[in-house]
Amino acid sequence: MSRFRPSVPQKRPNARLQAGSSFIGAMARVLVIDDNEAVREVLGRMLRRAGHEVLEASDGDAGLHLLRNHVVDLVTVDIFMPGRGGLSTIPELRKEWPQLRILAISGADREGPLHMAERATALGADDFLKKPFETSELLRVIGTLLPESPPSPKPPAT
């Protein structure tokens, strides 16, 4: 069984994230890292229905491998996974791709959701969502992380 599964046909070899490479108004490419296949499928379906391309990985190592071969705009990463979990993946993502937008997610209350949110953001995540969440909440957070377009300059006064 494969540890990761690209769900889009295009591959961009040796590409790196470019700051502002796409906006939510256009299609974003999102990498979903979660050990639970059902969660990956549900998140993937939510994101595809909103018009985004989705790549999937079952742990942090598989996600890092995909990122070395694909350009993405945002990564969702589960906090607790076998192998390389989110708390060790987030700093690596931030180090290698400083402009990458990172959304940490977790359903586990091992140390409480607020504590997990603080830890994840301290390690480099841009935001945190507690599972379960609604599609609207996921898309709202993604919308704040990937703005539709840069601010337009104001027209000159006449």
Residues contacting residue 98 through CB under 8 Å, at least 6 positions apart: none
CATH of the domain at 84: 3.40.50.2300
pLDDT band at 109 (very low <50, low <70, confident <90, very high): low
Query: Quick check: is 97 in a domain?
Result: yes
Distance CA 112, CA 82 (A): 19
Q: Taking residues 137-155, what's their average pLDDT? A: 70
Which runs of consecutive H residues, i.e. helices, occur in the chain? 37-49, 60-67, 86-96, 113-123, 135-145
Query: Quick check: is 31 in a domain?
Result: yes
Query: Quick check: is 99 in a domain?
Result: yes
Query: Quick check: is 41 in a domain?
Result: yes
pLDDT band at 111 (very low <50, low <70, confident <90, very high): low
Query: Quick check: is 150 in a domain?
Result: no
Query: Quick check: is 141 in a domain?
Result: yes
At 3 the pLDDT is 43
Cβ of 82: how many Cβ atoms within 10 Å? 8
Cβ-contact 29, 75 below 8 angstroms? no
Please state at what angle helix 37-49 crosses helix 135-145, rounded to 10 degrees.
Answer: 70
Q: Is the pLDDT of residue 39 over 60?
A: yes
Full domain range(s) for residue 119:
4-145
Query: Quick check: is 116 in a domain?
Result: yes
Work out how many domains the chain is built from and give that number: 1
Query: Quick check: is 134 in a domain?
Result: yes
